[in-house]
Amino acid sequence: MTTIQPKRAAIYARISEKVAHKDKVADQVADCKRFAAARGYVVDDRHIFIDDGISALGGKARPGFVELAGAAAAGEFSVIVATEEERIARNVPEKIELHTVAIEAGIVWDTIRDGFTDPATEAGEFFSTMRAAMGRMESRRKASRQRSANLDRASRGEPNPGRRRYGYELDGRTPREPEAAVVRRIFEHIAGGGSVRSIAIALTDEGVDPGTAKAWRPLRIREIANNPHYAGAMRHLGAVIPSAHIIPIVDAELAEEVRAILADPSRVTTTGQAPKHLASLIATCATCGARMVYMRGYVCSAGAKSGHAQIAADKIEPRIRAEVALAFVTSGHKLMPADERRSIAALVERLQRNETAATHTAADRDEGLLSTGAARARLVELRDERLAIETELDRVKASAGALAPLSAVARELMPDEEGGVPMADVWAARDRVLERFEALDLDRQRDAVRAFLEVEVVPFYKHDAEGRRVAQGGDRLRVWHKIATELNPNPADYIVDSLDVGDGDSHPATVAAARARASRASS
């Protein structure tokens, strides 16, 4: 008596998109197992192939399908089981490729919906290919209908279905409060002078769940901060429109401020590692004007050339912090934090208009529409305007963010709203503000330094008339105050008091800076 051996079968399961709270691909596998058992097929667990959340259209890589085809070519089974043929392939080229492999290996497929198919027969190949073509046509029709429905919803300010947005529930309208709190923190951090990099690092270090992404990255922080959805609006056909359906997580004014800060063309960004030291890329070399960078101490970024500046961190950082603190306590309420969110956006807009005007002026000159003299005069005027805007923008951002934590102690120390601290109390007040300033994170400290100071480092050595290298005397730091200008020396006499930074050393104030400024002004 001849015993009929059951056919070995493989199961293939695929869905185009994952669905939250439901494992649809597992449901397909369970259905196929029951179907295979009813047909008398034997399925080995090694021959269950899955592509979860991968469409059969669009040319996306399907690892499960590739493994299925390889095992089929190796003759490991003789039947492919699926819920329907469209699960296996939904476009004609891919179906023909499968036909070739199946015919050579003598494989057929048996699906719950479409039944038995032998691609080696004329009818089997024809109907299998037709089902692939029909499936592709239906997919394209469905996609077209979906796009039309999405456009219609978006025109009414309704969020479209899809992947869940961080901070919101699946409906895209209702905030998910634990994540919403993180979103608010991100916006407040940037508005307060923090960088996208520093908040990404903080959230990672604290183990905050990134939710819909794999990790906290600066790019993701920037995308969240620039997305109008969080302020109750949405993008539609290139425009931002308000939505009555989205519950905002942050107010529109804060969102506008943050977008303006991130769009600021003067904002310092780095493609590599961000500065980790207070004066890095802020202080400049007095010899060539290049920025100082930190390499076991501050050195001129133009290279360790003879006559260029270098200085130890403990010779520059305490002085800079002390100068900022002294500027704060002596300049009164003009440095106090204020609600200047709208002015930040307005200043950024002015800066962008200024850059556009400069570009157009240069183009008019190149095309002969404007004389060289007239173009030069206009470009000088625009340059001066740009410098003034950038100075004011630095001050506003520092006032609104970097120095906000100092406002309470400053108000205690400054009862006179028009002036500063009484002279008898200046040094004690400076020490209190300095303590608060040193407690700020590095991003905010650097914002304050950029807003208040220009710092140049003078080389330790100079060359005498005979070309010999000799040590330079005097103060090696030229510190010039941008806002607290009353702290700058009189260029006429250079007689100033010394500034004690509290480390036992006495640093004369900015005689060298004043002399340099006077020299540039007279040239």
Assigned domain for 167 exists: no
365 and 409 in a single domain? The answer is no
> What digits encode the pLDDT tens for the residues 89-141?
766 677 777 788 888 888 888 999 888 888 888 777 777 777 766 766 766 67
In total, how many domains does the chain have? 4
SS3 of residue 267 by DSSP = coil
Average confidence (pLDDT) over 286-308: 80
Pick the last residue of a domain from 369, 402, 435: 402
The enclosing domain of 94 has a CATH number of 3.40.50.1390
Assigned domain for 21 exists: yes
369 and 419 in a single domain? The answer is no
40 band by pLDDT with thresholds 50, 70 and 90: very high
The per-residue pLDDT for 482 is 80
The per-residue pLDDT for 493 is 40
375 and 490 in a single domain? The answer is no
Range in 450-454, 461-465, 473-477 with the lowest mean pLDDT: 461-465
The per-residue pLDDT for 224 is 93
Q: How far apart are CA 407 and CA 409, in angstroms?
A: 6
Q: How many CA atoms lie within 13 A of 355 on its CB side?
A: 10
319 and 361 in a single domain? The answer is no
pLDDT score of 412 more than 80 = no
The per-residue pLDDT for 1 is 42
250 and 134 in a single domain? The answer is no
The per-residue pLDDT for 241 is 77
Assigned domain for 222 exists: yes
307 and 419 in a single domain? The answer is yes
Pick the last residue of a domain from 385, 402, 419: 402
Quote the longest CA-to-CA distance of the chain.
Answer: 121
> What digits encode the pLDDT tens for the residues 41-67?
999 889 999 988 776 555 567 888 889
499 and 462 in a single domain? The answer is yes
For 39, 217, 231, 343, 474, the CA distances from 282, given in Å and listed in that order, are: 76, 25, 34, 24, 22
Assigned domain for 426 exists: yes
- Whole-model pTM? 0.45
Assigned domain for 200 exists: yes
pLDDT score of 469 more than 90 = no
271 band by pLDDT with thresholds 50, 70 and 90: very low
pLDDT score of 21 more than 60 = no
Assigned domain for 148 exists: no
Q: How far apart are CA 195 and CA 189, in angstroms?
A: 8
175 DSSP assignment: B
The per-residue pLDDT for 183 is 94
Average confidence (pLDDT) over 389-400: 67
305 and 357 in a single domain? The answer is no
513 band by pLDDT with thresholds 50, 70 and 90: very low
310 and 327 in a single domain? The answer is yes
The per-residue pLDDT for 250 is 93
Q: How far apart are CA 163 and CA 161, in angstroms?
A: 7
35 band by pLDDT with thresholds 50, 70 and 90: very high
The enclosing domain of 210 has a CATH number of 3.90.1750.20
pLDDT score of 2 more than 50 = no
The per-residue pLDDT for 80 is 92
Q: Please give the backbone phi and psi of residue 173, each rounded to the nearest 5 degrees, phi first.
A: -120, -35
Task: Give the residue among 14, 84, 79 at the shortest CA–CA distance from 44.
Answer: 79
318 and 429 in a single domain? The answer is yes
504 DSSP assignment: S
473 band by pLDDT with thresholds 50, 70 and 90: low
230 band by pLDDT with thresholds 50, 70 and 90: very high
The per-residue pLDDT for 495 is 36
If one compares 404 and 488, the residue with the highest pLDDT of the two is 488
The per-residue pLDDT for 168 is 92
Domain interval for residue 197: 177-263
pLDDT score of 336 more than 60 = no
Q: How far apart are CA 22 and CA 417, in angstroms?
A: 63
Percentage of the chain with pLDDT > 70? Answer: 68
Assigned domain for 146 exists: no
Assigned domain for 268 exists: no
Q: How far apart are CA 207 and CA 215, in angstroms?
A: 10
If one compares 272 and 355, the residue with the highest pLDDT of the two is 355
410 and 398 in a single domain? The answer is no
Neighbour-count burial for 431-469, b at 16+ CB within 10 Å, e otherwise: ebbbebbeebbbbbbbbbbbbbbbbbbbbeeeeeeeeee
> What digits encode the pLDDT tens for the residues 367-383?
888 888 888 888 889 98
> What digits encode the pLDDT tens for the residues 316-334?
999 988 888 887 777 655 5
Average confidence (pLDDT) over 428-435: 79
427 and 392 in a single domain? The answer is no
Pick the last residue of a domain from 90, 111, 140: 140
